[in-house]
Structures are given as structure tokens and as C-alpha cells.
Amino acid sequence: MSDPLEEIIALRGAHPLPSTQERALAALRTAVSADAALLVESGPTVTLLAGVSPSPEILENLIRTAAPIISSAVRGKVIVKKFTFRDQQVHMIAESCGAASAWLIVWVRTTEKALESVSQVIRLAAQCLPVGSSGTNAEAQAALELIASFSKPRLARMRDFAEKICGLIGGKSVILARRKLRGWRIVACFPSSAPAARSSLHESLMLALSAHGADEHPAVFPPEGAHPALPDICRITESQSCAVVPAWEGWALIAIWDSPLPPAEELHAAVAPLAPMLPSLYRHARSVLARWKSVPFNRRRLWGVLAAAVAILLIFPFHMRVRSPAILEPSLRRFVAVPFDSVLKKVHVAAGDVVEMKTLLAELDGKEVRERIAEIESQAAAANLQSASDLAGSRFDESALSSLQAQRAGHELEVLRERERNLRILAPIAGVVIQGDLEREEGAALKLGHSIMEIAPLDTMVVEAALREDDAPFVHAGQTVTVRLNALPSRDIRAVIKKVDPRAETRDGRNVFIAEAEVPNADGNLRPGMKGNAVIVAERMPFFWILFRKPWNALRSWLFW
């Protein structure tokens, strides 16, 4: 059977053999999570017919405890006693069975709040124990069928309850509602579905429940003078009569008929036996432990092994894998700048050309420099001649001034001749011209310090991985990094972290730390500016920490811890 209570119902009417009775008691014990369940016959002495308990010794103690209570009890009335065993509260629930002197006794640990629900399940189960012939009325039969619905989902269980009530009272439809903090909420309807939230029928139902859902007695229509919501319900549903019936604490139902109302006694007799089952139907009677015990042992053992394996996996340390965007840059770069203000005469290389050290890159126009040199040379000669003439004429002051002018012209001449020697711009290092295409700018005037080219050797490249701030503390020099470039998706580049910049910088609007690693480029396929993704094998940490680190940090940031 898929549910212990279904097994009890299946055994109803079976021959009352001890083995059959023990099966039924074991199913009941599982259903209500009881410590023990006994079937006894009361007479001059209490005789055990069948029982299930942890041990025979406990069974004998329970019989001795229950015997004086059962001997003096009145049949037809449920007995509930509270005992304390080993500082724990245990309830003894005794219910007379169908046979003349048979009693069902259940020992269960439960709360006072759930005691009534458990007692109702035991009371109904007692009616179908195989102890002899015992007929059941319509209410008891419906209750037993509801017990079998415990294996169904909650919505199906509540709909079954509404269906049984509707059949017992002979109504057109039944609407079951539960009181919440913000008012009443419809839980189930039979035979149709619940009305739309803002429909006129739904509003009338809520008004009727708010007015009479917590009353002690049903509120009916007709007669006239009832709450206005009740006539509205009959009008909208095209019915003749309706009633709001309080079912249990926080529960009520609205019944609708196409005929005159049944007597109030029939309404009470139909609802009263089933109403205590509502909390159990809504919140399933079995505890988590009871449901776990009902699972076959082999399956429980398999789940236990899987849980242990998952727990070991979660605490086992693994290397963190830090993922970040990456970009390729040259390991060494040199910028070629204009040494003085001049005009670009000729460019001899273009971007992508391989150059050696001292290779001619470009030429500057030296016409203005040479003209200036000739002018300064003439000024220097004139100053020397004037100084000699003043000295011959004993004009010593004028001679000294002319000499200084000649010296200044000589210094300026040295500067101009140095510029003349630098009209040819040579490569400072061997490498590849990665930036600089000035063929269209030949003849343009250039200012001092203007960068015209960038040269870098490409035999070794540097991978720059942009680390998030929360990942940077776990990345250090010496760790392995794997890079996959967008331009070369089938090639994984492996390298070792050389350094991590101690200061953050902003890239693409994010605050990141740059980790660098050198990679060889013997085949020359790697180019500056290529982008991709890097995976760094960082420190070893427990697996559960790796999984939940970022969600935990996000939660702490949101709570501002």
C-alpha cells in the first residue's frame, strides 16, 4: 500500500486473525507516529488480542497500566489519559471497537493542539479494525475514505472533504474556507472551481464568512432577515437556499441547495464527525520522521549513503577557479617621439613591419635647420671679427661683449647641428611596429614629443587578467592560469602568474586588480589587444565555501553587515 491508512481500510472486514490485526495495528502506529498500539478484550481481566510495541516488556507494562482504566470505562466514549515517562508527556487514547468488549489502545507523543486530530484518526480507524462484524454509518464511511486521501496532494484532499460533505447533506455545492490573518480564504470547492477573486460571487462569499464564519451555529437563508450576502449567493448561483456552517476552529463552509434546507440536526450530524479531520487534512497528519520511517530500508540506506557522500564532497577542499576577462599586451613597448618641432619628410615603415635596432623609421625635413645653421655661422663669424677689431682698438668692453655673442652663437650652433644629426629617426629596439601609419601625414608639421610610432618585440606576450575585488585576495604569484582567446577558441594558453598589481584600476567601468603572466609567442599568432577569458587555479578551499561564498557575501552586503 502507498499509505498505512489505506492498508487499514483494505483490512476492514477481513477475518480477525492475530496476524491481520497486527498488520492493521502496525499501519495505524505508522500513520499517527505512535509508540505502541494494542488491541485488547475487556472482561474480568484484560486480554491482549494483538499489539505492536518496541519490546515485549514494554507491551506488558502498557497492558498493566491500561487494565484498570479499561475495566471501569464506558463503551462508546473515547478515553484520553496523560502519563509522564522519562520526563516526556505520553497520551493514552482508548477507543471501543466493533466487538462487544474489544478496545483499541494507542500510546502516542503529541502536542495538545494536535491531540484532537490524532484522536479523530484513531476513532475512525477503530471502526474498521478486523475484530468482528461492525457496520459503519455514512459519516464514518466518508471519514474512512478521507483517511485514505492522506497520500494525495493537499488540494485534492480538501476537495475530497468538500465532496463528502456535499454528498452527506445532499447539497448542490459546497465551498470550504479557512480564516487567515487578513480574512477568509477559499480552500476548496465542489463540484465547480473557486470563483474569480473579484467576482460578485466571491465578494458575497467573503461577506457571509466574515459575518457568520466564526459563529457557534449555522446561519441560513431563508428565512427573511438573514445577512444580505446569503440572498445574493442564492441569486448569483440560481439556488433556493444556502447556509454558512462553522466547521472547526478557523474553518467554515458554505453549502448551497436547489431544494429547501435540511434540518439543522442533519447538518450538525454530517459535519461534526468530519470537522476534526480538517487540520490533519490541511497539514498532513504524518510527521517528517514518520514519513521517513515509512520509506523502505534499502532506499533509506541508499539516500543515507548519498547524503554522506554529498556531505564529504562539500567539506573536501578543492582549488578555487577564478574567472576573469583577459587581454594580451606586449611584454616591452617603446614609443618613438619627435625630438624637436619639425616637418615629417618621409616614412619608411608601416604598422606590422618587423624592424631591427637602428633601422631607419622616418626622416624629418632639415631645410629649416640647415638654413638656421648657416645664419648662426655667419653671426658667429661676424661676432668674432668684431671682437678682434675692438680688441685691436683697445676697446676692451666692446671686445668682451662681442666675444660673448660669438660664444652664444657657438652654443646655438651645437644645438642645431645635433638636430641635423637627428633628422633620421632610428628604431630604439628590435621588434614589430604595432602602431604608426604616417604615410598620409608626410609634410605635416610635428610638435616636440609627438609620438609617431610604437615598437614592441612580440616573441613574448603578457596576459593581463582583470580580477574582481572579491577574487583578488585569493590570487598570488606562482599560480597557474589558462587563457582562451576569442580569436583562437580552440587553443588553450597556459602560463604562471608573475605578479598582481597592488593597486586597483578602472577598466570598463569596474574596479579591478590586474594579474600578469608571460606567454611565449614563437609562432607569432598572438597579437596585442586580443581579448578572451582567463581561469586561474587559486587557493584550496572547502567545496561548500566555493559554492556559497558569493551568495553569502551578496546577502551580507545587502544586509550591510
Q: What is the pLDDT of residues 205-231, one digit of tens each?
A: 999 999 888 888 888 888 877 888 999
If asked whether residues 127 and 165 sit together in one domain, one would say no
Q: Tell whether the torsion through CA atoms of 8, 10, 13 and 14 is positive or negative.
A: negative
146-174 pLDDT, tens digit per residue, is 666 666 778 888 888 888 888 888 888 99
Alpha helices in 181-257 (DSSP H): 200-212, 229-237
How far is 171 from 285, CA to CA, in rounded Å? 28
Residues 349 and 375 in one domain: yes
At residue 325, the 3 state secondary structure works out as strand
Q: How many residues does the chain have?
A: 561
Residue 293 counted as domain residue: no
**What does the pLDDT average to over 480-507?**
89
**Where does the pLDDT of residue 535 fall: very low under 50, low under 70, confident under 90, or very high at 90 and above?**
very high
Task: Report yes or no on 16 lying in a domain.
Answer: yes
pLDDT exceeds 80 at position 338: no
| Residues 354 and 448 grouped into a single domain | yes
Predicted pLDDT at 149: 66
Alpha carbon distance, N-terminus to C-terminus of the chain:
52
- CATH assignment of the domain containing 474: 2.40.30.170
In this prediction, residue 305 carries a pLDDT of 92
Q: Which of 83-92, 496-505, 515-524 has the lowest mean pLDDT?
A: 83-92
Q: What is the pLDDT of residue 71?
A: 76
Instruction: Please check whether residue 290 is in contact with residue 518, taking contact to mean a CB–CB distance below 8 angstroms.
Output: no
Please give the pLDDT value at position 145: 65
What average pLDDT does range 222-244 have in this prediction? 87
SS (H, E, C) 40-99: EECCCCCEEEEEECCCHHHHHHHHHHHHHHHHCCCCCCCEEEEEEECCEEEEEEEEECCC
- pLDDT at residue 533, as a whole number: 92
pLDDT in tens, 82-126: 887 766 788 888 888 765 678 888 888 877 777 877 887 787 777
Reported as a pLDDT band with limits 50, 70 and 90, residue 437 is: low
472 and 418 both lie in a single domain: no
Residue 137 has pLDDT above 60, yes or no: no
Question: Residue type for 450, please?
Answer: H
Closest CA to 178 of 287, 286, 279: 279
Mean pLDDT of the chain: 79
* Domain end residue (candidates: 83, 102, 135): 135
> Are 183 and 277 members of one domain?
yes
Whether 311 is in a domain gets the answer no
Burial bucket for residue 360 (CB in 10 Å: 0-12, 13-18, 19+): middle
Last residue of a domain, one of 262, 288, 314: 288
Q: What is the 3-state secondary structure (H, E, C) of 283-332?
A: CCCCCHHHHHHHCCHHHHHHHHHHHHHHHHHHHCEEEEEEEEEEEEEECC
Residues 181 and 118 in one domain: no
Q: Where is average pLDDT lowest: 20-34, 492-506, 525-539?
A: 20-34
Question: Which amino acid is residue 533, in one-letter code?
Answer: N
Residue 370 belongs to domain with CATH number: 2.40.50.100
CA–CA dist 241, 230 (Å, integer): 8
- Note down the domain range covering 369: 334-454
CATH number where 210 lies: 3.30.450.40
Q: Taking 80 as the threshold, does the pLDDT of residue 10 lie above it?
A: no
What one-character DSSP code corresponds to residue 277? G
Q: Mean pLDDT throughout 395-404? A: 71
pLDDT for 135 beyond 50: no
Please give the Cα distance from 169 to 77 (Å, whole number). Answer: 26
**Do the domain assignments include residue 68?**
yes
Same domain for 447 and 549, yes or no, is no
pLDDT value at 306 more than 90: yes
Is 273's pLDDT higher than 70? yes
**Residue ending a domain, choose from 74, 100, 135:** 135
- Quick one: 106 and 14 in the same domain? yes
Is the predicted pLDDT of residue 133 greater than 50, yes or no?
Answer: no
Between CA 130 and CA 327 the distance in angstroms is 80
Assigned domain for 298 exists? no
Q: How many domains does the chain have?
A: 4
Identify the pLDDT of residue 294: 62
**Per-residue confidence (pLDDT) for residue 1, from 0 to 100:** 38
Q: What is the per-residue burial (b if ≥16 Cβ within 10 Å, else e) of 363-399?
A: bbbbeebeebbeebeebbeebbebbeebeeeeeeeeb
Q: In the structure grid, which three cell numbers stand for residue 185, read together?
A: 480564504
Q: Say if residue 143's pLDDT is above 70.
A: no
Same domain, 376 and 410: yes
In tens, the pLDDT along 30-79 reads 878 888 888 888 777 777 888 888 777 777 788 888 888 877 777 777 88
Position 295 in a domain: no
Q: Which residues pair with 254 in a beta bridge?
A: 175, 244
Helix (H, G, I), strand (E, B) or coil at 187: strand
Same domain, 161 and 273: yes
Domain-embedded: residue 308: no
Within a domain: residue 304? no
How much is the average pLDDT of 524-546?
87
Dist CA 532 CA 490 (whole Å) = 12
pLDDT band, very low/low/confident/very high, at 134 (cuts 50, 70, 90): very low
Angle at 127 between CA 154 and CA 269, to 5 degrees: 70
For 449: left if phi > 0, alpha if psi spans -120 to 50, otherwise beta; the answer is left
Same domain for 475 and 449?
no
Q: Is the pLDDT of residue 129 over 80?
A: no
What's the average model confidence in pLDDT over 546-554?
83
Name, of 61-65, 168-172, 241-245, 262-266, the range with top average pLDDT: 241-245
Does one domain contain both 479 and 519? yes
